[in-house]
Amino acid sequence: MIPIVPARGQAATPAAADRNQLWLKPGQLALPGSPPLSLYVHIPWCVRKCPYCDFNSHAVPGKADSHEIPEDAYLDALRADLEQSLPLVWGRPVHTVFIGGGTPSLLSAAGMDRLLSDIRALLPLDADAEITMEANPGTFEAERFASYRASGINRLSIGIQSFNDRHLEALGRIHGSREARAAIDIAQASFDNINLDVMYALPGQTIDECRQDLETALSYGTTHLSLYHLTLEPNTLFAKYPPALPDDDLAYAMQDLIEARTAEAGYRHYETSAYARPHREARHNLNYWRFGDYLGIGAGAHGKLSFPHRILRQMRHKHPATYMAQAMAGNAVQEARDVTADELPFEFMLNALRLTDGVPASSFYDYTGLPLHTISRQLAAAEKKGLLEADLTTIRPTELGRRFLNDLQEMFLKD
């Protein structure tokens, strides 16, 4: 039996030990192997909570300054959480790391260096691992971002959202268009692999304003663009007080514009909201969409881990103070449950159908342990409606299927 590893200075509690040994118990599945493994690290603080955001993020008071978050205590908790999780991923190489939030760029340069050092010390990180950090304009300092790069961050994802001051104000962003442009300039001085997050179908946005945002984003020539349709998510301020958004026809026109212009500029639309230059797809996100495994640490982080007879989903305690206390006590995980055989077809297809190229048909069995004929009826029905193309080698959505993705995904829900 692999020993349970206690958090530094802590003894593993019976509850924590029991959770770490879940994989030893009998399960419903028979997986032929393990999918690739990624690590997600959640930094839960933002300068201000945006009205459209449903992520687990918490505003910090006062000036945007890394010293206003309990950095050392949180990094202690992350290390304790990771140490407690080691038996679940023992010996498995980690191919990608994503540090998300919240606003990870609120961490000091020394704090980021410590975090990456702890990850390397505890996990077998690939030599060429993609290590992404999210950052927001308004938290950029040239010297600090050069230090992030020196620490090992090799991909940056910048939350621009818009280059239009009126729209940025409507979105509750702390930066203006000038800060957005400055952030990209600072990033490009240290990084050659950069994603820009930009939203469309914003409150009061016209097609020309969408085009202007897109052209500005394209002008920087970054390796990756994430172009998101603004949606009103439950439990957000926008859901409670919904702004006037472009109608469906205008939103579709914006999408068509984005499709055509990004292709013309040399970007490939490889996932629902993702556009990349050749060979510059987000490797971490591809692992999610291909139903790979990921260990999630940090407040509210989710994880999916595969074992020979089961697939386990975990969620950490959401509130930062609760998470830190529980992680140091060896109980960072709030919820852990098996994904049942009945749930697996939908969970797999929910991710795979986001990819323009789909996935190899063999990966359904490889990552779920279920034979492909388990979903043969749904595949046939989706093909008949022109939403899907499936054969012995590949399962992929059609152009119509990508346009009506929610309808296509719902066809794989258990009756």
- Of 183, 119, 111, the closest CA to residue 147 belongs to 111
What's the pTM value of the predicted model, to 2 decimals?
Answer: 0.92
pLDDT at 415: 63
- Token pair recorded at residue 33: 């192997």
- Report how far residue 380's alpha carbon sits from residue 210's, in angstroms, rounded to the nearest whole number: 38
pLDDT at 76: 98
- Report how far residue 315's alpha carbon sits from residue 337's, in angstroms, rounded to the nearest whole number: 9
The CA-based angle 340-346-350, given to 5 degrees, is 130
**Is 342-415 a CATH 3.40.50.300 domain?**
no
**pLDDT 10s per residue in the chain (415 long)?**
233 333 343 434 444 445 555 555 667 888 998 999 999 999 999 888 887 777 878 888 555 444 479 999 999 999 999 999 999 999 999 999 999 998 999 999 999 999 999 999 999 999 999 999 999 988 777 788 999 999 999 999 999 999 999 999 998 888 889 999 999 999 999 999 999 999 999 999 999 999 999 999 999 999 999 999 998 888 888 878 888 899 999 999 999 999 999 999 999 999 999 999 999 999 999 999 999 999 999 999 999 999 999 999 999 999 999 999 999 999 999 999 999 999 999 999 999 999 999 999 999 999 999 999 999 999 999 999 999 998 889 999 999 999 999 999 999 997 6
pLDDT at 204: 95
Measured CA to CA in angstroms, residue 320 lies from 10, 13, 70, 93, 297 at distances of 19, 21, 10, 28, 12
Cα–chain center distance at 275: 15
pLDDT at 241: 85
Domain extent listing, the chain: 14-286, 342-415
Q: Where are the alpha helices (DSSP H) in 54-108?
A: 71-85
* The CATH number, out of the four listed (2.160.10.10, 3.50.50.60, 3.80.30.20, 1.10.287.3610), of the domain defined by the range 14-286: 3.80.30.20
Q: Where are the alpha helices (DSSP H) in 102-171?
A: 109-122, 142-151, 165-170
- Report how far residue 147's alpha carbon sits from residue 107's, in angstroms, rounded to the nearest whole number: 11
pLDDT at 18: 54
- Token pair recorded at residue 271: 């996932």
Cα–chain center distance at 65: 24
pLDDT at 21: 57
In sequence order, the 6+-apart residues with CB closer than 8 A to the CB of 399 are none
- Report how far residue 28's alpha carbon sits from residue 326's, in angstroms, rounded to the nearest whole number: 30
